[in-house]
């Protein structure tokens, strides 16, 4: 009963909760925006994207309320490595996070970390500069990965060349220490000039920790929606937009009902990840294991 589904068998690779994983769309969106930025800067000679979508005190005073999120999809067109490095981190750690908590929660974490990174940046930067880049969002993904897989040994390529084996919890402390050092001695001092917003990195790390501590087992409003990247509804035939939710009360003595409930829970794990289960659903799985062992 518990192991008759392909995704419960050894070797099965969870593929995410949408036909095209949200992680892919995050990376593709960043690349598309970078191309659009390059067109405006190099061909039209107007930084149009930066003017309307970067985060700054001026943008908020101008009621550009989208900038606490939109800035994270912009990058420095004069330094393509800015985009490449951020997307590398998003991909490396995001694909594991996708399997751990599901695509919708991954998107929530990504956006939440971008917002907290932007907030911390604005709190400590009063010079009138602007913020762009997915670094804060990437740091949020890295942080949650390091928390969930703290003692697993992983191999990283230092400078993309030298393989280094490290435990994620130690990696997180190193990243936190480096960003804190450069924040205190390169970004924070009056008159300091740096092109790296270490405050935003620290805000992203904070966002990843806050998400793990307070929000990981809760659903945000759009995480309950059955959405994916497909043809808009107005191009389709009318019909029911979703299925009503029901609360289940399972009699463990009725093996048929128990199997039906377990099947529903396993389907939910496949679509949303184990982190989406309620305490009652986890208890039901435990009861099913006990029933099978008897």
| Ramachandran angles phi, psi of 131, nearest 5° | -115, 135
Q: How far is CA 66 from the centre of its chain?
A: 18
Residue 247 has pLDDT above 60, yes or no: no
User: Rounded mean pLDDT of 80-89?
Assistant: 94
Beta strand segments in the chain, E? 154-158, 162-166
Alpha-helix runs per DSSP H in 126-197: 135-148, 168-182
Question: Which CATH superfamily, name and number, covers 20-224?
Answer: Rhomboid-like (1.20.1540.10)
pLDDT (average), residues 267-292: 72
Q: What is the DSSP letter of 41?
A: I
Pick from 98, 133, 96: nearest CA to 114: 133
pLDDT in tens, 36-79: 999 998 888 788 899 999 999 999 999 999 999 999 999 999 99
Quick check: 250 pLDDT over 70? no
pLDDT for 175-192, tens place per residue?
999 999 999 998 888 777
From the number of C-beta atoms within 10 Å of its C-beta (0-12, 13-18, 19+), residue 62 rates as exposed
Cα gap 18→16, rounded to integer Å: 6
Model pTM? 0.69
| Per-residue pLDDT tens over the stretch 201-229 | 999 999 999 999 998 877 665 555 544 44
Q: Residue 155's beta-bridge partner residues?
A: 165
Per DSSP, 185 falls in state I
What is the per-residue pLDDT across 140-155, written as a single tens digit (0 to 9) for each? 999 999 999 999 988 8
Average pLDDT of 241-267?
60
Which of the pair, 141 or 164, is modelled with greater confidence? 141
Cα diameter, the chain: 73
High-pLDDT (> 70) share of the chain, %: 76
pLDDT of residue 151: 92
Specify whether the CB–CB gap between 56 and 132 falls below 8 A: no
Q: What is the distance between the alpha carbons of residues 185 and 21, in angstroms, rounded to a whole number? A: 40
Q: How far apart are CA 244 and CA 63, in angstroms?
A: 38
| Better pLDDT: 91 or 261 | 91
Annotated domain spans of the chain = 20-224, 242-293
Q: What is the pLDDT of residue 254?
A: 62
154: which 2 tokens? 């992983």
| 163 SS3 class | strand
3-state DSSP assignment of residue 162: strand
44, HSE (Cβ side, Cα atoms, 13 Å): 10
Residue of 42 and 254 predicted with greater confidence: 42
pLDDT at 159: 67
pLDDT score of 208: 97
């Amino acid at each position: 009963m518990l192991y008759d589904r392909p995704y419960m068998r050894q070797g099965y690779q969870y593929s995410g909760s949408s036909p095209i994983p949200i992680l892919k769309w995050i990376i593709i969106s960043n690349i598309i925006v970078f191309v659009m930025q390059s067109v405006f800067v190099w061909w039209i000679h107007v930084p149009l994207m930066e003017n309307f979508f970067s985060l700054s005190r001026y943008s908020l005073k101008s009621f550009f309320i989208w900038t606490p999120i939109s800035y994270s999809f912009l990058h420095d067109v004069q330094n393509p490595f800015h985009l490449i490095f951020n997307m590398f981190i998003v991909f490396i750690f995001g694909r594991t996070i996708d399997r751990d908590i599901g695509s919708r929660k991954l998107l929530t974490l990504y956006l939440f970390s971008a917002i907290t990174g932007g907030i911390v940046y604005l709190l400590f930067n009063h010079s009138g500069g602007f913020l762009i880049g997915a670094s804060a969002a990437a740091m949020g993904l890295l942080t949650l990965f390091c928390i969930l897989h703290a003692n697993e040994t992983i191999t990283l390529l230092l400078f993309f060349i030298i393989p280094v084996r490290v435990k994620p919890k130690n990696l997180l402390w190193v990243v936190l220490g480096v960003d804190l050092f450069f924040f205190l001695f390169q970004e924070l001092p009056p008159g300091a000039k740096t092109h790296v917003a270490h405050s935003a990195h620290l805000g992203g790390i904070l966002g990843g920790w806050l998400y793990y501590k307070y929000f990981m087992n809760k659903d945000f409003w759009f995480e309950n929606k059955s959405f994916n990247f497909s043809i808009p509804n107005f191009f389709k035939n009318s019909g029911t937009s979703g299925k009503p939710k029901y609360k289940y009360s399972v009699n463990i003595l009725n093996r048929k009902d128990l199997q039906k409930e377990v099947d529903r829970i396993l389907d939910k794990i496949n679509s949303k990840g184990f982190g989406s289960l309620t305490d009652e659903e986890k208890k039901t799985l435990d009861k099913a294991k006990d029933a099978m062992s008897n």
